[in-house]
Amino acid sequence: MKALLSGNEAIARGAYENGVTVATAYPGTPSTEILENMVNYKDKIYCEWAPNEKVAMEVAIGASFGGARTLVAMKHVGLNVAADPFLTLSYTGVKGGMVVVSADDPSMHSSQNEQDNRHYARLAKVPMLEPSDSQEAKDFVGIALDISEQFDTPVLLRTTTRISHSKTVVELKDRREKPEPAEFERAPQKFVMIPGHARLRHIEVEERLKKLEEYANNAEINRIEWGDAKIGVITSGISYQYVKEAMPEASVLKLGLTYPLAKDLIRSFAEKVDTLFVVEELDPFLEEQIKAMGIKVTGKDKLPLIYEFDQGVIRERLLGEKRKEDNILSDVSLPPRPPVLCPGCPHRGVFYVLKKLKLVVTGDIGCYTLGVVPPLSAMDTTVCMGASVGMAFGAELALKDKIKHKVVGVIGDSTFIHSGITGLIDIVYNKGASTIIILDNRITGMTGHQDNPATGKTLMGERTHQLDLGEVARAVGVKNVRVIDPYDLEETERVIREEVAKDEPSVIITNRPCVLIVKDKEWDKYQVDQELCRSCGMCYKVGCSAIYKENGKAKIDTLFCTGCGVCQQVCKFNAIKKVGEEE
């Protein structure tokens, strides 16, 4: 049977077909849908959202050591979080086959950087597979599991956004069951990485790489597609699709296993073509290794180091053909659509107050990062998941009295659980006085509403213990814990003023869920009394996309208005009223 699947859907299917019984992840674009689709097979596969990628990796490792086939998925920056166990996992090896999916994001469609995670395969000395479409995404999961068990290694399956989200036809197969593990096999020299054991395992890792290179030279997923021998291209992943469309006449060496390299195959291919190109997005990962083999190739001296490719980039840069303008809307002036918080978002009132109080705000990864854009413009830093908490304390240490009572860290509920909690422990332990605002919207919002330990529900749909963020803050030693309604601007401002003024740590928790999960709740919508509106512009400063200007005065689109009432609170002329109220 055939089906039209995205790369992420195909990876989930591949895990099902190939006997995976444990799958873990932390959500992050572009990898989120892997586990969201994996749960469709929950009668065969245990699935979980872990608090962060490191924990997801560790759960998968434990399951693999127990003998289960496992898959752990994350976006590219997530592998930074999980790098510690991942690099030692390379030494221990596995028992049940284990696949680590890293979904990279060239062009940073939804990411804070554009790192090329192929380097992790080389750093960890583990084999890496790169699919070029959904069929390969599914099939490569099975191949990766087989390689994992054959060579006693985790396998990195590296995708990019185009593979993750594009759909192609996939041939489906039945599930290939694996025997259930009978018992935990004790092997401390393999699984306990004290120095004496690790030194011996490093020898195994180096020997494994030699065997994998030999395997790569003969692997069917590394193949030559002969065409005109005047041009030869070595490529992998989504770049293969661009090459086939941009240069259909060229000969192509398509690498499915991109680490370690199939050196004999590459040399043989290079000897038979006149001009050799390497086409790869982001870093010259393949190119540098091929040049180190003494082979002359053209790559990043002509192709960009940044952003995604397309067919036009390849034809222009390698063949010298001028790009055609194929945007039929190129002459149409479209209105700018900057990203904004949703109408009724509970974060809006907090950022409005933070800007009003002119506080320095260290921010974090999530919907609330949009607090940086005008008119709110209330965020000063964003580096990575969980960093806002430690950075607020760091700013206090650096600037002392110059920033005393003037800085707050903001972080979401899921992000606080991910890695913000350790920063809070650090503040208490080292006698800081930071104020941290946990924007608790009761869901992992930015990635599409995944559950987390604070929602009281698992990925499998079961009710579970609901983490109390206030109790967590008190448990690590924070004495000042306040809960506020972020739709109440007066209360929000008063509490923030009080807590920031204290010389000891404070945690403020907002108590309104994401507006998108309560969108069906009937709230009274608001409208503008045109007679009372003085065109002062205060209501625009809350940055709600439901408010617009018409004939010089403010109006509210009741289709988008959620009835949060924040705009009404900033209007000094009582011009904003509930729909139906007497004007």
* Separation in Å, CA 399 to CA 392, 393, 406: 11, 10, 11
Interatomic CA distance for residues 77 and 122, integer angstroms: 17
Interatomic CA distance for residues 322 and 339, integer angstroms: 33
Q: Are strands 257-259 and 128-129 parallel, antiparallel or unpaired?
A: antiparallel
Interatomic CA distance for residues 149 and 97, integer angstroms: 5
Nearest to residue 270, comparing CAs of 248, 241, 290? 290
Interatomic CA distance for residues 504 and 431, integer angstroms: 7
Q: Where do we find the tokens 């284990």?
A: 98
**Rg of the chain's alpha carbons, rounded to an integer?**
27
Interatomic CA distance for residues 464 and 279, integer angstroms: 48
Q: Is 345 annotated as a binding residue?
A: no
Tokens of 430: 């080292």
> Strand, helix or coil at 222?
strand
Longest CA pairwise span in the chain (Å): 84
> Is 6 within 8 Å of 167 (Cβ atoms)?
yes
Interatomic CA distance for residues 315 and 66, integer angstroms: 50
Interatomic CA distance for residues 469 and 343, integer angstroms: 26
Segment holding 258, helix H or strand E:
strand 257-259
Q: Is 47 annotated as a binding residue?
A: no
DSSP state of 130: -
Q: Is 567 annotated as a binding residue?
A: yes
Is residue 462 classed exposed, middle or buried when 0-12, 13-18 and 19+ CB atoms within 10 A define those classes?
A: exposed
Q: Is 544 annotated as a binding residue?
A: yes
Peptide bond preceding 30 in cis form (omega within 30 of 0):
yes
> Is 172 within 8 Å of 38 (Cβ atoms)?
no
> Is 484 within 8 Å of 438 (Cβ atoms)?
no
Binding-site residue set: 533, 536, 539, 544, 561, 564, 567, 571
Binding-site residue set for [4Fe-4S] cluster: 533, 536, 539, 544, 561, 564, 567, 571
